[in-house]
């Protein structure tokens, strides 16, 4: 047991950090520092810069264009990218459909989709959840009926993040409604979002933004060559996707950036006649979050290195611990940032800005995204398997209850 | 970064687990608690035979040449059995002081004796008025006739009652809270003017109130540089935090295993209580907290050899907070999930609970370390 980073790992962190510093477009950096979410063009531009460097498909095997990094290097890379802060790689492309196609795809599917996914030429979205199938995913009902060399898809997906940006959707559909077990009649299909019969309707979330969608499929014809893996074996593909390396699940870099941000703004605002940063209660709160962040960082290292030791085969049930602690920290750190903003975090400057795009902001730049970030992150303990589901997983997989 | 055990570390933990498995059942431990010195002399000798008492010391002094990770693993094993022997006091606390500050003669005389199991030490620093403030030293040592005269009192000195020698901090210059002006002395526990009153802490482990009344010490009793002991004391306490954090992690492991066992076997309403999701989720939260504590005990271990004093102090405080909070959660939840039986002295859970409680109030509690962290925020 040696708990120190090796000199190579330290040098690697420095390499990543300086590459991001030198190549992240200044406008993107500044907007993100102020807490804005990256726009679609900003996300695409940054992923292409990383891809040109050979880093975008950071977790893919070398033969498919990955950089061939160790698990620790991958973790360092993600953390540096998040805490820069720079736009996240589109996870649907990089950590979901990419590894799935590498594992289950035909040669044709790999050739056709992988390079475009890495370069974000195709924007992917995930068609899993349905109105009646959230945490209980296997109860999904969207139907795909084989007709000649097509599947005809009918049904509805919900909570589909960024479907309105997407070119493609990887979808779980029911191909055998008669299967003895619900899990056995499900298939994994790739659906072109431009196919007639696909309709995307926005869901505006409590932060006022359009991130989520409903997606309706009405007699959507999908060529059979877009099936991934075997028909009715899609559950295995989905399980692989969900259990795949979840290095980034805690999104620690975002929390670290938020804590930093809270301290920065706390120098500018006052409490009882003194800078807020000098307030004891505030400092204790920061200290607590910094402790949580440090614990998470080490936990992440442990999970990552155990995963690497298992040859990348065995998903660690402790990634559920990462999910729980990581999302709690995301929520608590965004809450701190909002509280630092105080009353100035409350006006919906954002809508104001959108309505009069030529006017300067009526409030300070730093205040605009505080409440939206806090609001949006209430979803963190819901998505990706609610934190209660994670506890069920721990009970079953680790505790044997 | 490598979390796997080396072959040597595996052998070490296996042999300790075997020994404690044979000799440290809850019932056996209870017998040790019942009679002086409150721990097992024969086991202490066995620890020496296994090389455990020389673990962190250089091979030149009869040591094993191990590092902080080895001590962490050993303390974790000790924690699973609530080991009572004065390992923390002798090897970790006093041992660290000797390693860092001892001159060749002192190390050559004392360390081989520790490693051989022939010498037990206590680290007598805290005073009654000091609470957690490490600079608050009122005990004095005055230079006189080429030696020293020691005057004052020390409080809640771990294993101070059975130690052969005491490492005592005393003011040789400066005032109450000055970091400068504190020195360390090696004091024979039987020296004229030393009075000891031993007692059990709430977890059954032993401690003592010590007083020193005109205790005459030779010049060579001084350990390290005159007036400059404070950085040494800080590092001794840091080593104590890292080791006891690991110990408590071991205790939490045992507590969790015990609780899971209970959830699976205890029947209410015609089924095991562990089938209730409310209890399952609390068990999962125990696991989350245990893993947090494990990570933070690793952090404490990892930074002990960090040369930057400020970084080291900060990481140690982070670790003490993280382990302390997790230990409190895990031990409180364990009692709750056990119900009535968890409240009884004849059941082990309450003993682990009390160990965690004592841990939290040693070397600075959660509020103290949060406060230090808060002070350091930039």
pLDDT digits (tens, 9 = 90+) for B356-368: 999 999 999 999 9
Average pLDDT over residues B327-336: 98
Closest CA to B257 of A126, A16, A316, A399: A399
Q: For A279, name the nearest residue in chain B, comparing CA atoms only.
A: B374
What band does B330 get if pLDDT is binned at 50, 70 and 90? Answer: very high
Positions of A marked catalytic = 245
Q: Which member of A2, A5, A295 has the closest CB to residue B292?
A: A295
Residue A356: both structure tokens together: 């009069």
Residue B296: both structure tokens together: 């933070």
Q: Residue A236 and residue B143: Cα distance in Å, rounded?
A: 78
What is the DSSP code string of B31-70?
A: HHHHSTTSS-HHHHHHHHHTT-TTTTS-GGGT-----HHH
Residue A177 has pLDDT above 60, yes or no: yes
pLDDT of residue A360: 65
pLDDT of residue A356: 52
Are A382 and A390 in contact, with CB atoms under 8 Å apart? no
Residue A235 CB partners (closer than 8 Å, separation 6+)? A138, A172, A183, A184, A186
Min mean pLDDT across A297-301, B47-51, B68-72, B104-108 is at A297-301
Are A116 and A142 in contact, with CB atoms under 8 Å apart? no
Residue B369 has pLDDT above 80, yes or no: yes
The torsion of the CA quartet A63, A69, A74, A78, rounded to 10 degrees, works out to -70
Q: What SS3 class is residue A24?
A: coil
How crowded is residue A134: how many other Cβ atoms within 10 Å of its Cβ? 18
pLDDT of residue A315: 64
Average pLDDT over residues B279-307: 96
Residue B177 CB partners (closer than 8 Å, separation 6+)? B133, B135, B136
Min mean pLDDT across A67-71, A151-155, B186-190 is at A67-71
Chain A residues interacting with chain B (CB cutoff of 8 angstroms) = 1-6, 9, 72, 263, 277, 280, 283-284, 286-288, 290-291, 294-295, 298-299, 301-302, 305-306, 309, 318, 321, 324-325, 388, 390-392, 394-395, 398-401
Residue B51 has pLDDT above 60, yes or no: yes
Fold entry, domain A124-234: Butyryl-CoA Dehydrogenase, subunit A; domain 2 (2.40.110)
Q: Domains in chain B and their CATH numbers?
A: 7-120 (1.10.540.10), 122-227 (2.40.110.10), 231-375 (1.20.140.10)
Residue B361 CB partners (closer than 8 Å, separation 6+)? none
Residue A205 has pLDDT above 90, yes or no: yes
For residue A208, the 8-state DSSP code is S
Above pLDDT 70, what percent of chain A?
95
Are A237 and A187 in contact, with CB atoms under 8 Å apart? no
Query: Residue A53 to residues A13, A47, A48, A358: CA-CA distances in angstroms?
Result: 15, 10, 9, 36
pLDDT of residue B148: 98
pLDDT digits (tens, 9 = 90+) for A217-267: 999 999 999 999 999 999 999 988 887 656 678 899 899 999 999 999 999
The dihedral through the CA atoms of A287, A293, A299, A301 has a sign that is negative
pLDDT of residue A341: 94
Q: Which member of B5, B69, B298 has the closest CB to residue A298?
A: B298
Q: Where are the domains of chain A?
A: 7-89, 124-234, 245-399
Continuous segment of H or E residues that includes residue B194: strand B194-200
Nearest CA distance, A191 vs chain B (angstrom): 38
Min mean pLDDT across A213-217, A298-302, B11-15, B252-256 is at A298-302
Residue B301 touches partner A, C-beta closer than 8 Å = yes
Residue B129: both structure tokens together: 């008025």
Q: Which member of B69, B73, B263 has the closest CB to residue A401?
A: B263
User: Which residues are paired to B222 by β-bridges?
Assistant: B185
Residue A305 CB partners (closer than 8 Å, separation 6+)? A71, A72, B1, B2, B3
Are A294 and A223 in contact, with CB atoms under 8 Å apart? no
Is the preceding peptide bond at B37 cis, omega within 30 degrees of 0? Answer: yes
Q: For A280, name the nearest residue in chain B, comparing CA atoms only.
A: B374
pLDDT of residue A276: 97
pLDDT of residue A33: 86
Q: What SS3 class is residue B136?
A: coil
Residue A310 has pLDDT above 80, yes or no: no
Residue B374 has pLDDT above 70, yes or no: yes
Tell me how long chain B is: 378
pLDDT digits (tens, 9 = 90+) for A60-95: 999 999 999 988 899 899 989 998 999 999 999 999
Residue A353 has pLDDT above 60, yes or no: no
Model-level pTM greater than 0.90?
yes
Query: Residue A237 to residues A99, A187, A229: CA-CA distances in angstroms?
Result: 10, 8, 7
Closest CA to A218 of A127, A153, A278: A153
pLDDT of residue A34: 83
What is the DSSP code string of A100-149?
A: HHHHH--HHHHHHHHHHHHTTSS-EEEE--BTTBSSSGGG---EEEEETT
Average pLDDT over residues A309-323: 78
pLDDT of residue A163: 98
pLDDT of residue A362: 72
Q: For A320, name the nearest residue in chain B, comparing CA atoms only.
A: B288
> Does the domain made of A245-399 have the CATH classification 3.30.1330.50?
no
What band does A357 get if pLDDT is binned at 50, 70 and 90? Answer: low
């Amino acid at each position: 047991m040696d708990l120190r980073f090796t000199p190579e790992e330290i040098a690697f962190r420095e390499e990543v950090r300086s590459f991001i510093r030198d190549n992240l477009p200044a406008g993107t950096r500044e907007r993100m520092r102020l807490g804005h979410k990256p726009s679609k063009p900003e996300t695409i531009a940054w992923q292409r810069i990383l891809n040109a460097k050979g880093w975008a498909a950071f977790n893919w095997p070398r033969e498919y264009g990955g950089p061939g990094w160790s698990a620790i290097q991958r973790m360092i890379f993600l953390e540096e990218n998040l805490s820069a802060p720079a736009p996240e790689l589109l996870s649907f492309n990089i950590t979901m459909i990419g590894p799935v196609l590498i594992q289950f795809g035909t040669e044709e599917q790999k050739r056709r989709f992988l390079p475009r996914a890495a370069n974000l030429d195709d924007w992917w979205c995930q068609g899993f959840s349905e109105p009646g199938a959230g945490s209980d995913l296997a109860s999904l009902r969207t139907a795909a009926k084989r007709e000649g060399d097509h599947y005809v898809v009918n049904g509805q997906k919900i909570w589909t993040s960024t479907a309105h940006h997407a070119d493609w959707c990887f979808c779980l559909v029911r191909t055998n409604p008669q299967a003895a077990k619900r899990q056995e009649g499900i298939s994994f299909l790739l659906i072109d979002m431009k196919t007639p019969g696909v309709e995307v309707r926005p869901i505006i979330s409590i932060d006022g933004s359009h991130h989520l969608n409903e997606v309706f499929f009405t007699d959507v014809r999908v060529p059979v060559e877009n099936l991934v893996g075997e028909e009715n074996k899609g559950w295995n593909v989905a399980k692989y996707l969900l259990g795949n390396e979840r290095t980034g699940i805690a999104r620690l870099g975002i929390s670290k950036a938020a804590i930093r941000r809270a301290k920065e703004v706390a120098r500018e605002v006052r409490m009882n006649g003194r800078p807020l940063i000098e307030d004891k209660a505030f400092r204790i709160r920061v200290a607590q979050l910094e402790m949580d962040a440090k614990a998470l960082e080490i936990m992440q290292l442990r999970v990552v290195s155990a995963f690497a030791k298992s040859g990348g085969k065995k998903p660690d049930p402790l990634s559920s611990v990462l999910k729980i602690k990581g999302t709690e920290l995301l929520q608590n750190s965004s809450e701190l940032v909002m509280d630092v903003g105080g009353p100035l975090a409350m006006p919906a400057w954002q809508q104001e800005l959108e309505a009069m795009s030529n006017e300067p902001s009526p409030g300070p730049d730093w205040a605009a995204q505080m409440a939206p970030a806090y609001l949006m992150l209430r979803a963190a303990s819901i998505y990706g398997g609610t934190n209660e589901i994670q506890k069920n997983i721990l009970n079953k997989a680790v505790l044997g209850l | 970064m490598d979390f796997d055990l080396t072959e040597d570390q595996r052998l070490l933990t296996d042999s300790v687990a075997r020994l404690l498995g044979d000799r440290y059942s809850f019932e056996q431990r209870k017998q040790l608690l019942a009679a002086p010195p409150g721990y097992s002399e024969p086991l202490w000798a066995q620890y020496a035979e296994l090389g455990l008492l020389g673990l962190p010391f250089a091979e030149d002094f009869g040591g094993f040449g191990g590092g902080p990770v080895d001590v962490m693993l050993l303390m974790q094993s000790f924690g699973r059995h609530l080991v009572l022997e004065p390992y923390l006091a002798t090897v970790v606390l006093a041992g660290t002081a000797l390693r860092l500050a001892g001159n060749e003669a002192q190390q050559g005389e004392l360390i081989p004796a520790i490693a051989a199991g022939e010498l037990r030490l206590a680290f007598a620093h805290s005073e009654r008025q000091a609470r957690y403030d490490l600079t608050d030293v009122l005990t004095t040592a005055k230079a006189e006739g080429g030696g020293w005269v020691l005057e004052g009192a020390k409080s809640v000195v771990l294993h101070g009652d059975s130690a052969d020698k005491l490492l005592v901090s005393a003011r040789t210059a400066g005032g109450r809270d000055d970091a400068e002006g504190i020195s360390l002395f090696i004091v024979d526990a039987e020296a004229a003017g030393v009075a000891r009153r031993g007692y059990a802490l709430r977890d059954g482990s032993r401690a003592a109130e010590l007083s020193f009344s005109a205790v005459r010490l030779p010049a060579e009793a001084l350990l390290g540089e005159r007036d400059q002991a404070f950085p040494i004391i800080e590092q001794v306490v840091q080593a104590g935090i890292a080791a006891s954090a690991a110990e408590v992690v071991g205790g939490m492991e045992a507590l969790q295993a015990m609780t899971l066992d209970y959830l699976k076997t205890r029947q209410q309403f015609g089924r095991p209580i562990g089938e209730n999701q409310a209890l399952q989720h609390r068990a999962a939260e125990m696991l989350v907290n245990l893993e947090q504590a494990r990570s933070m005990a690793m952090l404490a271990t990892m930074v002990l050899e960090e040369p930057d004093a400020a970084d080291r102090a900060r990481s140690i405080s982070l670790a003490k907070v993280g382990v302390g909070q997790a230990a409190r959660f895990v031990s409180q939840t364990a009692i709750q999930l056990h119900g009535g039986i968890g409240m009884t002295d004849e059941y082990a859970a309450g003993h682990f609970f009390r160990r965690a409680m004592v841990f939290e109030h040693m070397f600075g509690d959660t509020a103290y370390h949060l406060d230090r962290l808060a002070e350091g925020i930039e």
